[in-house]
Amino acid sequence: MIPSSVIEDIRYRNDIEDVVSSYVPLKRAGSNLKGLCPFHSERTPSFVVYRDTQSYYCFGCGAGGDVVNFIMRQENLDYVSAVEFLARRAGIDLPDFSDENREREGPSRTRILQMNREAAKYFRKMLFDDNAGAAGRDYFVNKRGLSSLVIKRFGLGYSPMSWNGLRNYLSSLGFTYEEMKTGFLCGQNERGYFDYFRGRVMFPIIDLSGNIIAFGGRVLDNSKPKYINTSDTPAFKKSKNLFALNYAKDSGEDTIIICEGYMDVIALHSAGFTNSVATLGTAITAEHARILKRYASKAVLSYDSDAAGSKATERAIGFLSDVGIDAKILVMDGAKDPDEYIKKFGREAFGRLIDGSRSRFDYLIEKTLKKYDVGNADDKIKAAGEICREIASVYSKVEREIYVKKAASALEVDPKSIFLDVEAAIRKAERAKKKERSGELIRITSGISDRVNPDFVKRPKTARLEEDLLGMLMIHPEYISVKLDGGPAVSESDFFTDLGKRLFSHIKAQTESGTFSTGSLSEKFTFDEVSRAMRMQNNRRELTNDETAYLTYLEEIRKENAKHDAKATLEDIISHKRAGN
Ligand SMILES: [Zn+2]
């Protein structure tokens, strides 16, 4: 474990306001700061940073925590790596804690990154091996026409047809089979550990700090699967990472080109379109969109034009426009992918294709018009309905006005009626959203489907008192030793929910060994549990939290528990009597 004095120092030197505002623009709101939540998509800020408690809380999605927790979520790091990240940021030298961490919870991120670097070296060496790498070189150089410069820039490699080449190489460097399995380089069957990647050209995935976090491997024949990608590991989450974003972020362009595959991206980069990226064996996610928003305000989607591709395009547009990225669709004729297009028609032609890419709305209107026969009145009404809902989802009023005119002329109706329908659709969507939100709130506060504190539903009234008491203790940990008239100070037995008991024990242990800070929660509790704890604290924020109030809650909890115990005893006696008969 990292000593708490070190953690406190790191927290002290990483002011939460500074750290958060390097990711999220924050505005002053009273004595706090407010911004758009980086963990869910929203247009009205509900993400608050509290300077006094050095914590954050989102009233939209419930995420909350301290600066370490923020970095864990934002940078997708485990606790130790997040602490290391912040130490580096503040210029503090840290001893290596990764070994201890490894013993506790499997290979650490640091260890996997070291292993990946070695694996990438091995794959590269194999690619240039006279015998083993011939097939790989044939693919990259002869079939795809890549220069040695591009091969080097992307760190491309080859995994030979061997069941244990990489395994033995990494083992000779001191990596364990268990580490190789966790890092998704080896699999395990009844005969032992074996190389996952065999006979594939290899694409390392590099994060923004230059770490090799994962690999993609493509077969050279028709065997399946065509691609193998690293699954999620302690160093990699595919929903959060993009291929070549490490280069694209420095392209100086405000537009990002999003393609389907590694080879599309490499071909585009070779042709000078260094602002292109690809997702990694997954469709664009909301997280991808939020990450891209940091680097670009426009995106061009270059997906396959088949049914799967156009479905992926629509979903991607949704996520991108949710975060305010203006997404357009590239429509390509005469070639199946960007690589082939550039080879056939040249890079200038592809540049013109990008300039002429269709706006989201034009694309959607085109699709809707294809689906319906607007000569038929019924069809026309349906088409108008779909288009109006689309226009209603556009945030900018000016943009909406433009679309209303376009839609009216495409459907040959009066713009005024389209306008009215759009207004109605906006109101309807708002009502639905409000209802959804309040429904969510009711579910949480009433404890129905309470994943985080599953015991809550058993005795909601007492559980609510418990959460209030814990919230107060997190603000005033010193109350922990205050005695109630005619009774002892608070103890673990005063809590009946498992989460309550664990939170209390943690606060108590921390208070006894020095000071409690909400930041220490991130080490022991899950994200959801930390968020819940932050909610308990925030719920007490505007209320009176003096000793009298605290003791009133404690007394109330004890009364409730006594009532419950008495009832339980009574039931016990009754059931014993029945059993006796
Ligand atoms: Zn949020």
- What is the CA(41)–ligand 1 centre distance, in A? 7
Rounded CA separation 190/70 (Å): 41
| Helices 397-411 & 415-446 angle (0-180, nearest 10) | 130
- What is the CA(57)–ligand 1 centre distance, in A? 8
User: Looking at residue 10, what is its pLDDT?
Assistant: 85
Can you tell me which residue has the tokens 């919870």?
Answer: 105
- What is the CA(45)–ligand 1 centre distance, in A? 9
User: Looking at residue 579, what is its pLDDT?
Assistant: 64
- What is the CA(533)–ligand 1 centre distance, in A? 15
- What is the CA(522)–ligand 1 centre distance, in A? 18
- What is the CA(439)–ligand 1 centre distance, in A? 17
Rounded CA separation 537/560 (Å): 22
Least confident of 64-68, 177-181, 366-370, 548-552: 366-370
Q: Is the pLDDT of residue 146 over 80?
A: yes
Rounded CA separation 489/480 (Å): 7
| Tens-place pLDDT, residues 84-122 | 888 888 887 776 655 444 444 567 788 899 999 999 999
20 confidence band (pLDDT: 50, 70, 90): very high
- The full DSSP string for 94-128 is ----HHHHHHHHSS-HHHHHHHHHHHHHHHHHHHT
| Tens-place pLDDT, residues 191-200 | 899 999 999 9
- What is the CA(44)–ligand 1 centre distance, in A? 11
517 confidence band (pLDDT: 50, 70, 90): confident
Q: Which residues surround ligand 1, an ion (CB under 5 A)?
A: 37, 39-40, 58, 60-61
- What is the CA(290)–ligand 1 centre distance, in A? 12
Over residues 558-575, mean pLDDT: 86
User: Looking at residue 441, what is its pLDDT?
Assistant: 59
- What is the CA(37)–ligand 1 centre distance, in A? 5
User: Looking at residue 240, what is its pLDDT?
Assistant: 81
Contacts of 393 (CB under 8 A, 6+ apart): 321, 429
Rounded CA separation 62/75 (Å): 18
Helices (H), 299-414: 307-322, 338-345, 347-355, 360-371, 377-392, 397-411
Polymer length of the chain: 581
What percent of the chain is predicted at pLDDT more than 90?
Answer: 40
- What is the CA(38)–ligand 1 centre distance, in A? 7
What percent of the chain is predicted at pLDDT more than 70?
Answer: 94
User: Looking at residue 136, what is its pLDDT?
Assistant: 96
Helices (H), 42-164: 67-75, 79-90, 98-105, 109-127, 134-137, 148-153
Q: Is the pLDDT of residue 187 over 50?
A: yes
- What is the CA(126)–ligand 1 centre distance, in A? 46
303 confidence band (pLDDT: 50, 70, 90): confident
Q: Is the pLDDT of residue 286 over 50?
A: yes
- What is the CA(508)–ligand 1 centre distance, in A? 29
Q: Considering Cα of 256, then 259, then 265, then 268, what sign does the dihedral take?
A: negative
Whether pTM exceeds 0.85: no
Summary mean pLDDT of the chain = 86
Least confident of 16-25, 80-89, 121-130, 401-410: 80-89
As a whole number of Å, the end-to-end CA separation of the chain is: 57
Over residues 552-574, mean pLDDT: 88
- What is the CA(528)–ligand 1 centre distance, in A? 12
CA-angle at 543, arms to 537 and 544, nearest 5° = 110
- What is the CA(39)–ligand 1 centre distance, in A? 5
CB 303 within 8 A of CB 260: yes
User: Looking at residue 103, what is its pLDDT?
Assistant: 45
| Tens-place pLDDT, residues 476-511 | 999 999 988 878 899 999 999 999 999 999 999 988
- What is the CA(56)–ligand 1 centre distance, in A? 10
- What is the CA(61)–ligand 1 centre distance, in A? 4
Nearest in space to 160 (alpha carbons), one of 132, 185, 195: 132
- What is the CA(318)–ligand 1 centre distance, in A? 18
- What is the CA(416)–ligand 1 centre distance, in A? 37
- What is the CA(326)–ligand 1 centre distance, in A? 22
| Tens-place pLDDT, residues 347-393 | 999 999 999 888 878 888 888 888 888 888 899 899 999 899 888 87
| Tens-place pLDDT, residues 62-92 | 889 999 999 988 887 778 888 888 888 888 7
394 confidence band (pLDDT: 50, 70, 90): confident
- What is the CA(532)–ligand 1 centre distance, in A? 13
Q: Considering Cα of 367, then 369, then 372, then 373, what sign does the dihedral take?
A: negative
User: Looking at residue 102, what is its pLDDT?
Assistant: 44
User: Looking at residue 443, what is its pLDDT?
Assistant: 56
CB 275 within 8 A of CB 248: yes
CB 535 within 8 A of CB 62: yes
Q: Is the pLDDT of residue 140 over 80?
A: yes
**Residue 365 corresponds to which amino acid?**
I
